Structure 1
Amino acid sequence: MLDRPAGKRQVQSDIVAEQLEEEIITGRVSGGSRLDESSIAVRFGVSRTPVREALHALCARSLAERIPYKGVVVAQISTERIGQMFEAMAEMEAVCGRIASQRMSMIERAELESLHRLMNELAEKGDHEAYERANTEFHDLIFRGSHNEDLVALAAALRLKLAPFRKYQLRDTGRLKRSCSEHQQIVDALLDQDPKAAETALRRHLISAAQEVLVRREAEAKHD
């Protein structure tokens, strides 16, 4: 009985956070806008507790910031800012991939290849949510494959900031299939223990993801 309300609040906060994330990323809620707890609670028909949790998540992902005497305000997310975040992530993943190509165990490489096969099936089905979850695990496997705790922590912190953008660019079925194709190059490089190829494939993969985000944002802005 005690677990049920907590679980319900968590589900509600996730729904609120995901909807607000999309509106911020697409620009439907502009930078500098104040996110008022009361009005958001009324809009979603929930109490202020899940709204507070959702706003905390948005701040943790750098989509909003808490300003004294103003409350939670939407961050300014320019094209340049998005490019900078993806650039940083691309370099971090490239480093992790280069090192992982030499340090991953046989079991870790087999797990990565198995996960990649599953992701191909999910892409064919157009199962965006399951693919997004598997995609997170795919990249986490590469981080952990570096067997360097500091690199893993840094990569995880950057990934948290980029998570909404990476999820956003995986909503198109065509993008899922392109992502799988790019993953194939990454997997091949890691299985071949080729550090240069792994580094290059991961960097290009993140550049491709950044381009997808920017193209989608521009298209939606014109549509609005």
Structure 2
Amino acid sequence: MHPTRQKRPTRAEVLRKGLEEDIFSGRLKPGDRLDEVSLAERFSVSRTPVREALHQLSASGLVEVRPRQGAVVAQITLRRLIEIFDVMAELEGMCARLAARRMTTEERTALHTAHAACADAVAAGHDVDAYYEANWRFHDLIYVGSHNTVLEETTAGLRLRATPYRRHQLNRPGRLADSLREHETVLQAILDGDGVRADSAMRDHVSIQGDLFADLLSTLPTDFVG
């Protein structure tokens, strides 16, 4: 098993990340129109990667497409944000519980490798981009390791809605190290074959409650959450 290596981001991914940063910083506000031509000029790309980036943002819920208006920055309700993370915590907890019982030796080795890549990103000066990619791999391996296709597809689908906020959280001081420690707890439970412990550890890792939820809200623009 080869170590996880960072892939070069596509133009659409670079553009999507730039727009996410604009939204989370407040430079782009709910209701602002995202014009394809203007974005193509700003990022010096054709309209094809712009459309792909807007499609990705629409899938994650940060952008909505309105009749005769095109793509605009969406406004998410506080209730909706809480519901997304509540369901993600339950789904990922179930994935971890089943993975603890069903993962093959090869899958467990791959999971350990993904965790090591996360640790390398933290050790390399808290490289958020490298950590995010390895983190994505870590969670994806657990979905697949559940050996339940319906659960895997459902969890992966909802992850698109949670992804921008989870990625944004990683920029909070100390969050990478905290996340890595939480991964270690999940990993050890899975390697021990302890489904109950793996479920609990993963739900604790994914859910945003108490101080963690307050920290997330404090980093969002005041008009972002309705």
TM-score range (shorter-chain normalised) is: 0.7 to 0.9
Q: For 1:64-92, what per-residue CA distance to the aligned partner results, in whole angstroms no more than 9, with x for missing partners?
A: 12111111122112333222211111111
Q: Do the aligned partners of residues 117 and 173 (structure 1) sit closer, same or farther apart at CA in structure 2, a change above 3 Å counting?
A: farther
Where does residue 190 of structure 1 map in the other structure? 190
Aligned residues: 214
Separation of aligned partners in 2, 1:48 and 1:140: 30
Q: Do the aligned partners of residues 50 and 106 (structure 1) sit closer, same or farther apart at CA in structure 2, a change above 3 Å counting?
A: closer
1:130 maps to amino acid: A
Indicate the larger mover: 100-109 or 84-93.
100-109
In the TM superposition, residue 214 of structure 1 has moved relative to its aligned partner by: 5.0
Separation of aligned partners in 2, 1:139 and 1:65: 27
2:207 maps to amino acid: I
Where does residue 116 of structure 1 map in the other structure? 115
Q: Contact 1:169/1:213 (CA < 8 Å) preserved in 2? A: no
Where does residue 47 of structure 1 map in the other structure? 46
1:17 maps to amino acid: R
Which structure has more helix as a fraction of its residues? 1
In the TM superposition, residue 49 of structure 1 has moved relative to its aligned partner by: 2.8
Indicate the larger mover: 200-209 or 97-106.
200-209
TM-score (norm 2): 0.84
Where does residue 137 of structure 2 map in the other structure? 137
In structure 1, the gaps of 5 or more residues are 1-9
> Could you list the runs of 4 or more consecutive aligned residues of structure 1 that deviate by over 6 angstroms after TM superposition?
none
Q: Contact 1:123/1:173 (CA < 8 Å) preserved in 2? A: no
Are 2:15 and 1:11 aligned? no
TM-score (norm 1): 0.85
Separation of aligned partners in 1, 2:63 and 2:80: 14
Where does residue 176 of structure 2 map in the other structure? 176
Where does residue 6 of structure 2 map in the other structure? none
Separation of aligned partners in 2, 1:71 and 1:214: 33
Q: Do the aligned partners of residues 105 and 46 (structure 1) sit closer, same or farther apart at CA in structure 2, a change above 3 Å counting?
A: closer
Q: How does 1:69-218 map to 2 (within 5 A)?
A: 69-125=68-124, 126-172=126-172, 174-208=174-208, 212=212, 215-218=215-218
Q: Contact 1:25/1:165 (CA < 8 Å) preserved in 2? A: no
Separation of aligned partners in 2, 1:161 and 1:72: 17
Q: Does the residue aligned with 1:65 lie in a helix, a strand or coil?
A: strand
Q: Does the residue aligned with 2:64 lie in a helix, a strand or coil?
A: strand
Separation of aligned partners in 2, 1:47 and 1:58: 18
Q: What is the RMSD of the two structures over their aligned residues, measured on CA atoms? A: 2.4
Structure number with the bigger relative contact order (C-alpha 8 A, sep ≥ 6) is: 2
Q: For 1:2-41, what per-residue CA distance to the aligned partner results, in whole angstroms no more than 9, with x for missing partners?
A: xxxxxxxx83322221111122234432222221222223
Q: Do the aligned partners of residues 84 and 28 (structure 1) sit closer, same or farther apart at CA in structure 2, a change above 3 Å counting?
A: farther
Q: Do the aligned partners of residues 210 and 151 (structure 1) sit closer, same or farther apart at CA in structure 2, a change above 3 Å counting?
A: farther
Q: Does the residue aligned with 2:71 lie in a helix, a strand or coil?
A: strand
In the TM superposition, residue 104 of structure 1 has moved relative to its aligned partner by: 1.1
1:165 maps to amino acid: Y
